[in-house]
């Protein structure tokens, strides 16, 4: 008797994904995405798909460019450093397909409900968010029969098939993941079928030798495909980094809707071998492997110095001010690669908050490390004390109310502290370009809130940062409430079992705090900034005390540490105009590429 062999080919995907299928796609951000299967779906011209990803990007953008999607369920879609996905914006703003925006923690809970065979899951969900109000088919408010507490219920989410990418599997279908993982296990448990691509096929003896890495077992897996570089152009650490040089080309290729579909078809070719040759072949593969190893740990200073810096700029002041929102021992969560926030929190850990507990990507409690577009994920996991999936982070910190800070930076923030990362409104114009007086409230599609609608209210502190303090950002009332600190006062939060904490905003002009709902006070003005500068650039009333202090200057040591953390100045991209950013970003990526 021999064990059943689950190995197959990419083309076998047609047995599981057919026209109209509901497909769950694993991975998170630009990490561990099953891109080889995405390419095969496009090659096989499968259409009419309903697709879901907890934090999506390239996989969804490729499928949309190819015209394969009729219904998109998402919490967040972004090409990260390369901005908003153009095909996502196109189909959303022109209402070309069905869209369902659902908060990230809710996706996890909906998948878990399906995986456990129950019709819904109840939790402390995204109260006060328009996401809940606009999806009554998914969300309901329920009352706990034991405590009388009001909870959010999310309907079970059960894809027809889950497609995920992993590091290793054996021929029988035992699968190991030890890199960045989103909610792949939940996706697999919820789906009727599970298809996995892997970097390596190993023996069952090797699986048993490293059994703690096994997350899916053979009865749960229907097909395993050996697909080295199967996540590329996304990353699969520790094997290889994301192919950012190719991603820059892809953004241009898929950005024009007239050629997007043709570009994708030519790019992917007729096979994986042809695709890899199209993106650089063996030379590229060696570079990507090398870049994933190009990590560096930052040592703690032997002593701390309080000597003020003789010179510093607004970005340095903002990084240091954001770092100072962290108390020693705080639990800090970071999602996608946000260089300014990463720099600030690494700085806090290196200076006044050495006991801060950081979770970034899947790395739990990493040592401070050097930032890089190609290397931050690999460093965060390499220097971590352990690895969590996104689900494990959500359940350990977010939903238990044990997180202290997950800084957000939204498109808008209003007088009530509500944030908008979903839709921007624009005036409607007539054929001659003249304003009609009406407003299109669904004019510009933004990436979505990911888990922000929940964590913005559950974490002890609500911290936001904005590199461009203006009335476009700070508005009287947001057009769309992606997230809100629904329970705000200390009394409200204690009644709900939540820890009280402040709402603080750090900008390039000042540090300010919402002291009661709708009432804001400036805590300090940055060097050279006047009260009028803040008032005139804020779209709601903000109090600047007559004796408002100047923000404490960075120390010379802090400036030096910032340069060690981010030697290429990636954090400065947040302070640049679109034109400046477009010129600077390629030079950073190219410099990293040449360093490998």
70 and 27: one domain? yes
Residues 213, 338: one domain?
A: no
Of 287, 304, 325, which residue sits at a domain end? 287
Instruction: Judge contact between 390 and 585, C-beta under 8 A.
Output: no
Task: Tell me how far CA of residue 549 lies from CA of 525, 530, 537, in angstroms.
Answer: 6, 11, 19
Are residues 231 and 330 located together in one domain of the fold? Answer: no
- On whether residue 369 sits in a domain, the answer given is yes
For residue 143, CA distances in Å to 124, 147, 151, 498 come to: 11, 8, 6, 18
Rounded to the nearest 10°, the torsion over CA 203, 208, 209, 214 is: 100
User: Does 335 lie in the same domain as 269?
Assistant: no
For residue 71, tell me if it sits in a domain. Answer: yes
How many CA atoms within 13 Å lie on the side-chain side of 377? 27
Q: Give the Cα separation of 401 and 247 in Å (integer).
A: 37
Let me know if residue 533 belongs to a domain: yes
Residues 417 and 332 in one domain: yes
Structural contact between residues 160 and 190, judged by C-beta atoms closer than 8 angstroms? no
Which helix (H) or strand (E) segment holds residue 167: the answer is strand 161-169
The structure's pTM equals: 0.92
Does residue 147 have a pLDDT over 60? yes
Query: If you search the block for the tokens 């800084």, which residue do you land on?
Result: 407
Residues paired with 423 in a beta bridge: 445
Check residue 578 and give its pLDDT. 78
Task: Give the domain extent around 107.
Answer: 7-118+156-287
Quote the distance between the C-alpha of residue 336 and its chain's center: 4
Which segment of 275-279, 508-512, 579-583 scores lowest on mean pLDDT?
579-583
The number of distinct structural domains making up the chain is: 2
247 & 320 share domain = no
Residue 2 belongs to a domain: no
- 166 and 37 both lie in a single domain: yes
Q: What is the length of the chain? A: 596
Please indicate, yes or no, if residue 299 is contained in any of the structural domains. no
Specify whether 406 is located in the same domain as 500: yes
Phi, psi torsion values for 190, nearest 5 degrees: -85, -25
Distinct helix (H) and strand (E) counts, the chain:
20, 27
Residues 556 and 208: beta-carbon distance below 8 Å: no
Question: Mind listing the pLDDT tens digit for each residue in 173-198?
Answer: 999 988 777 889 999 999 999 999 99
For the beta carbon of residue 203, count every other beta carbon within 10 angstroms: 10
Beta strands in 221-297 (DSSP E): 223-226
* Structure confidence at residue 2 (pLDDT): 66
Residue 56 sits in a domain whose CATH number is: 3.40.1080.10
Average the pLDDT over 111-125 and give the result.
94
pLDDT surpassing 60 at residue 1: no
Whether residues 214 and 343 fall in one domain: no
For the stretch 482-523, pLDDT in tens is 999 988 999 999 988 899 999 999 999 999 999 999 999 999
- Residue 3 and residue 286: Cα distance in Å, rounded? 35
pLDDT number for residue 173:
94
C-alpha span between 84 and 482 (Å, rounded): 17
Task: Please report whether residue 174 resides in a domain.
Answer: yes
Spatial CB neighbours of 93, under 8 Å, sequence gap ≥ 6: 442, 443, 444, 445
107-116, 198-207, 421-430: range with lowest mean pLDDT: 421-430
Domain-located, residue 126:
no
In a domain, 532, yes or no: yes
Q: In this structure, are residues 383 and 295 in contact, taking their beta carbons and an 8 Å threshold?
A: yes
328 and 248 inside one domain: no
Same domain, yes or no: 394 and 476:
yes
Residues 347 and 238 in one domain: no
Give the three-class secondary structure for 230.
coil
């Amino acid at each position: 008797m021999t064990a059943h062999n689950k190995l197959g080919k990419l083309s076998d995907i047609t047995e599981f994904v057919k026209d109209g299928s509901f497909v769950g796609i694993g991975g998170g951000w630009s990490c561990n995405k099953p891109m080889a299967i995405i390419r095969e779906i496009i090659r096989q011209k499968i259409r009419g798909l309903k697709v879901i990803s907890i934090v999506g990007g390239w996989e969804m953008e490729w499928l949309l460019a190819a015209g394969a999607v009729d219904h998109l369920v998402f919490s967040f879609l972004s090409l990260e450093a390369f901005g908003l996905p153009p095909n996502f914006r196109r189909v959303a703003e022109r209402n070309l397909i069905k869209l369902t925006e659902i908060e990230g923690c809710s996706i996890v809970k909906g998948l878990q409900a399906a995986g456990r065979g129950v019709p819904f899951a109840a939790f402390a969900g995204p109260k006060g968010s328009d996401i809940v109000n606009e999806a009554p088919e998914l969300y309901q408010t329920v009352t706990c029969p034991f405590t009388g507490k009001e909870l959010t219920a999310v309907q079970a989410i059960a894809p027809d098939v889950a497609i995920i990418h992993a590091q290793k599997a054996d021929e029988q279908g035992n699968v190991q993941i030890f890199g960045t993982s989103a909610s792949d296990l939940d996706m697999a448990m919820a789906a009727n079928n599970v298809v996995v691509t892997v970097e390596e096929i190993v023996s069952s003896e090797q699986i048993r030798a490293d059994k703690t890495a096994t997350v899916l077992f053979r009865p749960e897996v229907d097909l395993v495909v050996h697909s080295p570089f199967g996540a590329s152009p996304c990353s699969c650490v520790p094997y290889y980094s994301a192919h950012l040089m190719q991603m820059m080309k892809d953004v241009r290729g898929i950005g024009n809707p007239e050629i997007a579909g043709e570009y994708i078809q030519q790019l992917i070719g007729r096979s994986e071998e042809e695709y890899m040759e199209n993106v650089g072949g063996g030379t590229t593969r060696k570079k990507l492997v090398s870049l994933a190893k190009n990590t560096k740990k930052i040592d703690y200073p032997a002593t701390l110095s309080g000597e003020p810096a003789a010179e510093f700029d607004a970005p340095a002041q903002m990084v240091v001010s954001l770092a100072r929102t962290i108390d020693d021992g705080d639990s800090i969560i970071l999602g996608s690669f946000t260089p300014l926030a990463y720099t600030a929190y690494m700085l806090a850990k290196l200076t006044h908050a050495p006991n801060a507990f950081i979770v970034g990507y899947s790395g739990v409690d990493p040592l401070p490390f050097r930032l890089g577009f190609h290397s931050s994920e690999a460093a965060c996991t390499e220097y971590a004390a352990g690895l969590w999936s996104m689900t494990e982070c959500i359940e350990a910190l977010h939903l238990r109310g044990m997180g202290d800070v997950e800084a957000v930076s939204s498109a808008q923030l209003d007088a009530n502290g509500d944030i908008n990362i979903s839709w921007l409104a624009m005036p409607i114009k007539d054929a001659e370009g003249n304003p009609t007086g009406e407003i299109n409230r669904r004019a510009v599609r933004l990436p979505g809130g990911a888990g922000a609608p929940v964590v913005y209210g559950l974490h002890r502190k609500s911290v936001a940062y904005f590199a461009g303090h203006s009335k476009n950002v700070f508005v009287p009332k947001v057009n769309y409430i992606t997230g809100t600190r629904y329970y705000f006062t200390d009394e409200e939060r204690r009644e709900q079992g939540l820890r009280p904490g402040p709402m603080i905003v750090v900008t390039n002009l000042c540090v300010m705090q919402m002291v009661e709902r709708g009432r804001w006070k400036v805590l300090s003005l940055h060097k050279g900034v006047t009260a009028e500068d803040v008032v005139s650039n804020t779209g709601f009333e903000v109090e600047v005390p007559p004796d408002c202090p100047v923000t404490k200057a960075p120390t010379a040591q802090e400036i030096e540490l910032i340069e060690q953390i981010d030697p290429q100045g990636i954090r400065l991209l947040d302070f640049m105009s679109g034109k400046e950013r477009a010129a600077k970003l390629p030079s950073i990526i190219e410099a990293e590429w040449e360093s490998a």
